[in-house]
Amino acid sequence: MHRITVVGGGFAGLTAAITAAEAGAKVTLYEAHHTLGGRARTAEGPYRTNEGPHALYSGGPHWTWLTQRDLIGPLAPVPLLEGSRLRLHLDGALRRVPPLALLKLGRRKPEHTPVDTDFLTWATAHVGEAGARAAANYTAVALFHHDPGSLSAAFVHERLRRAAKLPPEAHYPRGGWANVIDRMAARAWNLGVRMETLARVDTLPTDTPVIVATSLDAARRLIGDPSLTWDSGRTTLIDLAVRTRRGDAFAVSDLDAPGWIERFTAQDRTLAPHGQQLIQGQIPISPAESKADGVARAERLLDLGFPGWRERAVWRRESVAHGRTGAVDRPGTTWRDRPAVDRGDGVYLAGDQVAAPGVLSEVSFNSAITAATLALAAGRGSTPAARPSTSTTPIDLNHA
């Protein structure tokens, strides 16, 4: 039985640990935070908030993998009545029906969408500039980037097709992502994975394969490799609890500029106390914009979709996510150009900015499976692992 070390206890780290343990490896996982989960962590307390809006897409291989192991748990489907309350902000007003351009682009086959051209240029040739901008802004729900039209056409088109697909691919674990993480942690424990929280790894072990499943910024510092960089988004996150009012929108998608506001208690009433609604939103902001700029745009959408929300508000939280929203690919690049999983010398990367296909959490999953497979191959015949240098300082590598 060979040994593997995993640094980081988020979705990628737990996926890698389970994969390696299922193959017979002796796995030790270190997490700097006091709980597992990383960005899939659900806040404790009366408001079960995630680190920004989260959904689990059913079109990727991770869905099958999680389902086979009974790790997803109960889902919270969106009621038909609530789904009909999706609103689209276009030309300064709320609409119920999406523009024809968005539907046309969503139906186009992806095989001929170019990698080397930006999405706005490519889409404008097919549906005109106004339609192309609206479609680009709609993808903010899966991109968290302030200018989706400037990114690779193939990259954005894939996310547009997945986000606009009917029936929807997005699913919501009841009670938040914490329930998925808890199930994954229980499976890892039953497989013999040794999990240590409040354990910051300062130096990597050299006598065992190690999977670094942290943010790319944290991995860059830990490995000491300045080449570990890739573009990501910068997003203002807003969490809001309001007293219930009939007629509130289920979600507001901003087609005039990137942005998304969603009432998560529409499908899962367990996320807030009785008589209250939990609203979460993300407004991508440019490097020149501040958190306040994003908050102001969010409040304008709230005014339209949730009348009287200010008088009904009982709790509020704001933050900025920088480099924590997944990789974005510029024209001329694909996921294959991102930092490679195999870093040499028995070190492997996993996470949402690594060279792996998929959207959102699928990238973390696919990179984790690849990293675990490579580490297993490298670990055969290796000597037992020495414990890496750790500290009990609660520094969260997933958010560093």
pLDDT for position 55: 78
CA-to-CA distance for 150 and 332, rounded, in angstroms? 12
Q: What is the dihedral of CA 243, 248, 251, 252, to 10 degrees?
A: -110
CA-to-CA distance for 55 and 36, rounded, in angstroms? 18
pLDDT for position 380: 64
Residues 121-138 pLDDT 10s: 999 999 999 999 999 999
Q: Tell me the pLDDT band of 390, cut-offs 50, 70 and 90.
A: very low
CA-to-CA distance for 17 and 392, rounded, in angstroms? 21
β-strand partners of 196: 30
- Identity of the residue numbered 140: A
CA-to-CA distance for 302 and 312, rounded, in angstroms? 12
Mean pLDDT for the chain overall: 91
Does residue 387 carry a pLDDT above 50? no
CB 144 within 8 A of CB 110: no
pLDDT for position 399: 32
Does residue 57 carry a pLDDT above 50? yes
> Residue 272 — left, alpha, or beta (φ > 0 → left; ψ -120 to 50 → alpha)?
beta
pLDDT for position 43: 87
pLDDT for position 39: 85
Q: Tell me the pLDDT band of 1, cut-offs 50, 70 and 90.
A: low
Residues 20-34 pLDDT 10s: 999 999 999 999 999
SS3 of the chain = CCEEEEECCEHHHHHHHHHHHHCCCEEEEECCCCCCEHHHCCCCCCCCCCCCCCCEECCCHHHHHHHHCCCCCCECCCCHHHHCCEEEEECCEEECCCCHHHHHHHHCCHHHCCCCCEHHHHHHHHHCHHHHHHHHHHCHHHHCCCCHHHCEHHHHHHHHHHHCCCCCCEECECCCCHHHHHHHHHHHHHCCCEEECCCEECCCCCCCCEEECCCHHHHHHHHCCCCCCCCEEEEEEEEEEEECCCCCCCEEEECCCCCEEEEHHHCCHHHCCCCEEEEEEEEECCCCCCHHHHHHHHHHHHHHHCCCHHHHEEEEEEEEEEEEEEECCCCCCCHHHCCCCEEECCEEECCCCCCCCCCCHHHHHHHHHHHHHHHHHHHCCCCCCCCCCEECCCCCCCCC
Does residue 392 carry a pLDDT above 80? no
Residues 262-315 pLDDT 10s: 999 999 999 999 999 999 999 999 999 999 999 999 999 999 999 999 999 999
Region 192-208: mean pLDDT is: 92
Does residue 383 carry a pLDDT above 50? no
Across the chain, which distance is largest between two alpha carbons, in Å?
A: 65
Does residue 396 carry a pLDDT above 80? no
CA-to-CA distance for 106 and 157, rounded, in angstroms? 8
Which sign does the torsion angle of CA 64, 65, 69, 71 carry? negative
Residues 61-89 pLDDT 10s: 899 999 999 999 999 999 999 999 999 99
Which comes out higher in pLDDT, residue 7 or 53?
A: 7
In order of start, what are the domains of the chain with their CATH numbers?
Answer: 3-41+177-229+331-391 (3.50.50.60), 48-59+69-94+164-175+232-327 (3.90.660.20), 99-159 (no CATH)
Residues 224-272 pLDDT 10s: 999 999 999 999 999 999 999 999 999 999 999 999 999 999 999 999 9
